[in-house]
Amino acid sequence: MAVPSFMSSRVVPGYLRVVRANRAFTDAERARAHVRERSIRPQPYGPPRRLRRDVALEVSREAGFPVYTLTPRSGRARGSVVYVHGGGWVNEIAPQHWALAAEIAARAGTTVTVPIYPLIPFGTAGQVVPAIATLVSENMSRYGGACLAGDSAGGQIALSAALLLRDEQQVKMPRTVLISPALDQSLRNPEIDVVQPSDPWLGKAGARVFIEFWRGELSVDDPLVSPLAADLPGLGPLSVFCGTRDIVHPDTKLLVAKAGAAGVEVDYHEGQDLVHVFPLTPTPEGRAARAVIVDRLRAALATV
């Protein structure tokens, strides 16, 4: 979805409704048609040609799918960040994701790895989350350290991967950044229905279709699918961003409370009256949030 280069946050909800950003989420049949269309006609995923000039790009397929590496052209890159893009597990990486990944690489002075992971109906949580965890582990060895970051569906993958690394490799991530993460795919939180009328982007009916494809043979309560279902003690620090006009907001509040009770350091940024993935929007609030994201990741990798 193309968006203006800059806008006020007050006009974003109206803009999203005009372009019908939620059309694949409001109806189950439309969601199934969207999955079929994306499977037959995949979206392009390559980075924009006009990405930042101070960042270099490479790509490999060692993981079995394309993995891009963004590095600052000047100075020493410290550690790495694995950035997992959102899109409801069905949509490809968008220019806004590429812009944030490049900004992190340039301004945090780090290597950013962007996996173009398999989407539904071909990719499932049971396949993708372990692959991302493996990628993080390889980055830790290759670059001396790694953080995780992701938005929306990518936030789910990032948090599930952090939990998997904790459980299987006893790895405590130095920082995981979550932007409007999809946390509980049961969608059973009653507060979701309270928020739904004000959310111009997401909807439960279509999301349930995408979730059924994504979970595959796993239970909807498996932490590889719904990280909110996991026990959280021993998890590394979290930076969490979510707007209040977002149906993932109720579960985000539960995550923040549950993580705090488990002794996990949580840096929570709530955007009043802001929409889904507001840090990626071309607004003053989005720009401020991106500055915080860069700061937190730079600090986490400072000793690498």
pLDDT tens readout for residues 24-55? 888 999 999 999 999 999 999 999 999 999 99
266-275 and 238-245 strand pairing: parallel
pLDDT reported for residue 82: 98
Confidence of residue 19 (pLDDT cuts 50, 70, 90): confident
Range with the poorest average pLDDT among 8-12, 151-155, 212-216, 267-271: 8-12
Percent of the chain with pLDDT over 70: 98
100 pLDDT above the threshold of 60: yes
**pLDDT tens by residue, 236-282:** 999 999 999 999 999 999 999 999 999 999 999 999 999 999 999 99
Q: Is the predicted pLDDT of residue 147 greater than 50, yes or no?
A: yes
Ramachandran angles phi, psi of 99, nearest 5°:
-65, -40
Question: In angstroms, rounded to a whole number, what is the distance separating the alpha carbons of residues 178 and 159?
Answer: 8
Give the per-residue pLDDT at 22.
82
Alpha carbon 259 to its chain's center: 18
Split at pLDDT 50, 70, 90, the class of 211 is: very high
What's the mean pLDDT when you consider all of the chain? 95
User: Is residue 88 within 8 Å of residue 119, measured between CB atoms?
Assistant: no
Q: Which of 14-23, 31-40, 201-210 has the lowest mean pLDDT?
A: 14-23
> What is the dihedral sign for C-alpha 287, 291, 131, 264?
negative
pLDDT of residue 193: 97
Q: What is the mean pLDDT of residues 160-184?
A: 98
CB 13 within 8 A of CB 275: yes
In which band, very low, low, confident or very high, does the pLDDT at 5 lie, cut at 50, 70 and 90?
low
pLDDT band at 85 (very low <50, low <70, confident <90, very high): very high
Residue 4: per-residue pLDDT: 53
Residue 18 pLDDT level (bands cut at 50, 70, 90) = confident
pLDDT at 2 (0 to 100):
45
7 burial (CB, 10 Å; 0-12 / 13-18 / 19+) is middle
Vertex 98: Cα angle to 121 and 162 (nearest 5): 65
Question: Is residue 17 predicted with pLDDT exceeding 80?
Answer: no
Phi, psi of 48 (to 5 degrees): -60, 145
Answer whether residue 304 shows pLDDT above 90. Answer: no
Q: Which of 67, 75, 69, 44 is nearest to 56 (CA)?
A: 69
- Dihedrals φ, ψ of 35, to 5°? -60, -45
DSSP assignments along the chain, one per residue:
----S---TTTHHHHHHHTTTTTTTS-HHHHHHHHHHHHHSPPP-SPPTTS-TTEEEEEE-TTSS-EEEEEESSSPPPSEEEEE--STTTSPP-HHHHHHHHHHHHHHT-EEEEE-PPPTTT--HHHHHHHHHHHHHHHHHHHS--EEEEETHHHHHHHHHHHHHHHHH----S-EEEES----TT---THHHHHGGG-SS--HHHHHHHHHHHHTTS-TTSTTT-GGGS--TT---EEEEEEEESTTHHHHHHHHHHHHHTT--EEEEEEEEEETTGGGSSSHHHHHHHHHHHHHHHHHTTT-
Q: Is the pLDDT at 217 greater than 90, yes or no?
A: yes
Place of tokens 């372009």: 19
Taking the CA of residue 124 as centre, how many other CA atoms within 13 Å lie in the half-sphere pointing to its CB? 11
Number of residues that make up the chain: 304
Residue 1 clears pLDDT 50, i.e. is over it: no
At 7, is the pLDDT very low, low, confident or very high (cuts 50, 70, 90)?
low
* pLDDT band with cut points at 50, 70 and 90 for residue 3: very low
Contacts of 96 (CB under 8 A, 6+ apart): 3, 277, 280, 281
